[in-house]
Structure 1
Amino acid sequence: MTGLRKPEMVNYTNPCLTMHQPWASLLVYGIKRIEGRSWPAPITGRLWIHAAGKVPERATIKAMEDFYREIYGLDGITDVEFPQHYPVSRLLGCVEVVGCVNCEEAANWKVLPEGVRLEAQTEFCWLCENPRKLVVPFEMRGYPGIYSLEKKIYDAASRGLLPIKSPLPVKFPLPDPHDPFSLKPGSISAQAREKKSSVVEKSSSLSVAIAAALAAATQVNKNDEDLQINIMQNREPYSFRSQSMNKSVEEDGFDEGTSDLAERK
């Protein structure tokens, strides 16, 4: 699906998203399968992932790794291999965004494994498949929202990708197999309503893991202001951005949704 987009979507060239660690690496390694945002995905297809410059705290890494251990355990996966390092200010790799649904739809979507449904914690859920990482992550700076990679970076990065074997690969089924853009907010709402009772019952250990992940995500978001200022000071103008996307960036703040769990308490 690389390169496909709906006609009304912004015409990005090799779109990229800057995210905080450890969420950025967890996505590229296929451990994280849903990227949560307060705005719907403006693209379908390949999305490059860049790690922001903030070094993650050990407590944040532990909280997120514990969260994913718990939710993978619901699906019988007891040995999740996490990244050994969480590099910052680097282009890490890419994923394929196959669609976007709202939180209620994803949380109640009966065809998804239980652990995936628990990743649905924000207003909009970007559904990600086919993670690939760079053999050598590229040092570069990031920008708010989605932006286009420079051609020279894209040309080099596209030659250095390796496929990732995620602990539990997930294929998000299209409502209309003939329409690659059919997986959008509202497209599976009827299925979600039919299966509201399928919401996962939380054990005490899972509840603790979710609470810790929420706290970690919230703390990271509170510390975004200095990072936003730093990035904006070094930012070059992007004339291709639509006014509506700029408005979203101004309202949401930099990278406010990289922490899937930050918005839903």
Structure 2
Amino acid sequence: MRGVRKQGTGNYTNPCLTMHQPWASLLVYGIKRIEGRSWPAPVRGRLWIHAASKVPEEATIKAMEDFYREIYALNGINDLKFPRHYPVSRLLGCVEVVGCVKREEAANWEVLPEGVRLEAQTEFCWLCENPQKLLIPFEMRGYQGVYNLEKKIYEAAIRSLTLVESPLPVKFPLPDAQDPFSLKPGSISAQVPEKKSSVVEKSSNLVAAIAGAQAAATQFNKKNQDLQMNVIQNEESYSLRSRSKNKAVEEDGFDEGTSDFTEGKESYRVNHVESRSHNQPRTDLKQHSGPPSKIFAAALRGLKPS
């Protein structure tokens, strides 16, 4: 089922991951080399990257660009070229997931450049190489978790890929070159069990940049949690709204879409409306919609920038 995060390592043909901006473009442009998640990577090999529909705030973009400027400076790179635009609701390109390790393992893995180790800020670190971007990003809808890209989209996208020249290409060595899944949580700590904490020296600018990046991600996660709480609180009355939906559509000429918010084995459905212009802020969604239902209004309040 599309939109449902799958546990395990199989059943993916052309796996895709929807990410929020600016993180999605930073990954496809080869600037971001570690994708942080609260769950281990279920795939190895090519992973398509799709940008979610939320327009990033300027403060969030600045925080993440400042973060990468500082960590690349540790390795002598001071002329990073960031994306000119951060498009939303688009398939952007792909990367190759070569492994997944725990945060402590990546942060203390001395074979990696200092800047890469500082990217390890989440529980699980998906290690990404060989970024490629689409010449023209495809408009499409995303789903929660890792899902299979539709065949027709894949066939069009695979012909439009172009290689990206990363500012500092990184190769993550596999413990077992014959086993593509050998770089997994615990594999690095098993090799160096007595490893001490990272000794990367942090300047005041670097400390501030890391704090800014963490704040941006934390604020974003808080909004997602608030949205899911709104969904849970309104779940009991969902069936009543569903029964009255056809009448509302007939009277207003407007049909609200739905999407699945899935976490583990529980799935919650949220009414949502896609913006007709992906360059407009999310708050502009109101002017495109008919009278919103209570759950849509609650979800919209959860996404409203603070």
Q: Same fold (TM over 0.5)?
A: yes
Name the residue aligned to 1:4. none
Please give the secondary structure, in 2, of the residue aligned with 1:196: coil
Please give the secondary structure, in 2, of the residue aligned with 1:68: helix
The aligned runs of 1:251-262 (5 Å cut-off) are: none
- Please tell me the residue identity of whatever aligns with 2:91: L
Name the residue aligned to 1:121. 121
State the alpha-carbon separation in 2 of the partners of residues 190 and 17 from structure 1: 29
Name the residue aligned to 1:132. 132
State the alpha-carbon separation in 2 of the partners of residues 138 and 126 from structure 1: 24
Q: Which moved more, 1:62-71 or 1:180-189?
A: 180-189
- Please tell me the residue identity of whatever aligns with 2:20: H
Report deviation, 1:197.
4.5
State the alpha-carbon separation in 2 of the partners of residues 248 and 119 from structure 1: 30
The aligned runs of 1:1-150 (5 Å cut-off) are: 9-150=9-150
The aligned runs of 1:78-227 (5 Å cut-off) are: 78-224=78-224
Once superposed, what is the RMSD of the aligned Cα atoms?
2.4
- Please tell me the residue identity of whatever aligns with 1:79: D
Larger radius of gyration: 2
Q: Which moved more, 1:199-208 or 1:87-96?
A: 199-208
Over 3 Å counting, the alpha-carbon distance change for 1:107 and 1:209 in structure 2 is: same
TM-score normalised per structure 1: 0.83
Report deviation, 1:192.
4.7
Q: Which moved more, 1:184-193 or 1:164-173?
A: 184-193
State the alpha-carbon separation in 2 of the partners of residues 109 and 24 from structure 1: 25
Report deviation, 1:223.
2.2
State the alpha-carbon separation in 2 of the partners of residues 116 and 192 from structure 1: 19
Please give the secondary structure, in 2, of the residue aligned with 1:188: helix
Does the 8 Å contact 1:53/1:88 carry over to 2?
Answer: yes
Over 3 Å counting, the alpha-carbon distance change for 1:61 and 1:192 in structure 2 is: farther
Please give the secondary structure, in 1, of the residue aligned with 2:48: strand
Name the residue aligned to 2:258. 234
1:247 aligns with 2:261: no
Please give the secondary structure, in 2, of the residue aligned with 1:208: helix
Post-superposition CA distance 1:103-135 (Å, at most 9, x none): 111000010000000001111100000000000
Report deviation, 1:183.
0.5
Over 3 Å counting, the alpha-carbon distance change for 1:86 and 1:206 in structure 2 is: same
Relative CO higher for 1 or 2, CA cutoff 8 Å, sep ≥ 6?
1
- Please tell me the residue identity of whatever aligns with 2:21: Q
Report deviation, 1:91.
0.3
Does the 8 Å contact 1:22/1:56 carry over to 2?
Answer: yes
Please give the secondary structure, in 2, of the residue aligned with 1:215: helix
Structure 1: any 5+ residue segments left out of the alignment? 1-7, 237-244, 252-265
Runs of 4+ in 1 over 3 A off after TM superposition: 190-195, 225-229, 232-236, 248-251
